[in-house]
A and B are shown apart, each in its own frame.
Chain A
């Protein structure tokens, strides 16, 4: 009963607080500001994501290291015994492309359906919804870091030195990878709300994408020559993953040409670009990917308005 309550205690005045505006359409800068303001929620969601994944398993988080390590062991056996393709240290080549691919795939597998899966939350609690997709990307980054760690341990074990002088380009390539993955994840999470087929569709697209990227084969050693002959190399490089992978492979695998272990041939494995080309291409790619991220934010903003009636 209001009229029977005791004298009210004065709380801090809110007069100086700025108004927050909830309106029909938030500008891009407002969206980014809101996103930044809720970064603590992002870390919370990433940790809970990882925790849930390994909850109830005896080895827990150790699995995130064990899985890539066991994969590495399987590849080692397969490519040094059964599928000898003549490329020396093929496991290192394979794994340096794999870490890039795994991050992209892990993030998208989780993020594509995330808004639909967490519809209950999306419809009840207010927060920038793309954080859900970004949390999946963040979790993928954590697994990526662990896998790179496993790769590092393997390099140490077999005594294979990375290209130390190229190492500084790696963070640029990684950031480009991050922004690309985040952009695709944000857009796909929103599109799936309207077209539930996307989850199945994505599985096929990702499989195709995997073989369009130089993970299990060497670009220079296989399709580079025919593509160049027809002037179609640019098409292959429209896939942002390609350049990022080549950079990772250049850093970890190092050699651009090698002597085949099965014949006398000399194999071209990686592009023989100078360091400056790697740098300029990666920095250029990063710029484009940041632009793409901004576009994906705008697209998400357009799509999110009708989530309520579609979920």
Chain B
């Protein structure tokens, strides 16, 4: 293990100008007009990323995650602290930002490669792979201005992932292209992981972090509030999501609902595969609320096994303690530990009003011979 990214005491402040003038005349006429406010985008961030690690950087909009990423990529300079990098870095910040639309796809591959810091010789070596990956062979000599937005992004992504970086930094760009191309991108990222490279993935999509990352860092208001195994960090992320939602909730609904505990009649969370299970969820509210109840089951690896219908389970919470029962008639899961998340959402199934991440962990034991995630009970015979 070698440290490839070392972020040490990094802070970044922005000066926000209110009504500042940008032309010479206005500045001369109103030398002191407008006020300047200092905004702390990052405060004393410390962490390290080693080779072989895939780290997720989670945070809401405005939490400072993109600023931190830009500092790591060298686009921004931190106000204080230092970031040290080892090995080559390719950043997928905004795909195609370096493209010159007047030039052909071929010229842009070389230009973009040079921009990412790779020599012409290296780009020569990977050119065919880039074209292959981007699937635009027949348009490679067409001016980029005639490309569709999908082609544009595919070409940029293809360059960035084919230049053989030691560190790959990805900023919410996996939402590009059609589903098939997205799958291809995820696939490529997993190949990167298997090759022992380091990946820093920035997103506010918890599911993506769960499925790709070994470790996650959570930022909030420029501060690092968690750095640990993915499921631990995600729990903190979700809790803070609720906390900050509560702060901004003027009707006061959110503050009033709390999920206290989840219990089973026997007190045990062990279950045999194929058997049923019953949970009781204890919720306390101050005021009455009608919404829907949701339950999620995840593997420890972060794969979503099941999420209940967010619109189909109405609950009417009355002031005081409430008890919600969940019946799982038959659990077809195979051996393993599964995490249960529960929550209450609004009547339309859109907004989460109460949530408990990892409310319970169930241990499933299975003595059959199937392997994988669920028992299908397939019967196979020759006809």
Contact = CB atoms under 8 A, between A and B. Distances in A.
A, B: real partners: yes
A120 interface: yes
B83 A23 contact: yes
Nearest to B102: A52
Given A25-B77, A52-B102, A55-B102, A125 B116 contact: yes
Contacts, number: 152
Contacts of B114: 38, 40-41, 44-45
Chain B, interface size category, equals 35 or more
A126 B91 contact: yes
Nearest to A123: B75
Contact of B97 (A6, A52, A56, A124): A124
Given A23-B82, A308-B76, A14 B2 contact: yes
Contacts of A6: 194
Interface string B12-36: 0011110000111101000000000
Nearest to B50: A14
B2 A13 contact: yes
A21 B84 contact: yes
B54 interface: yes
Contact of A17 (B70, B83, B87, B303): B87
Contact of A14 (B80, B86, B193, B301): B86
Contacts of B86: 14, 17-20
A52 B79 contact: no
Given A14-B4, A41-B114, A44-B111, A22 B71 contact: yes
A22 B77 contact: yes
Interface stretch (A136-144, A174-182, A194-202): A194-202
Interface residues of A, number: 51
A52 B103 contact: yes
B176 to A, nearest CB: 15
A51 interface: yes
B15 A19 contact: no
A53 B165 CA distance: 32
Interface of B: 2, 4, 6, 14-17, 22-25, 27, 51-52, 54, 70-87, 91, 93-94, 97-98, 100, 102-103, 107, 110-111, 114-117, 119-120, 143, 166, 190, 193-197, 211-214, 300-303
Interface of A: 1-6, 8-11, 13-15, 17-26, 38, 40-41, 44-45, 48, 51-52, 55-56, 120-121, 123-127, 194-198, 201, 304-306, 308-309
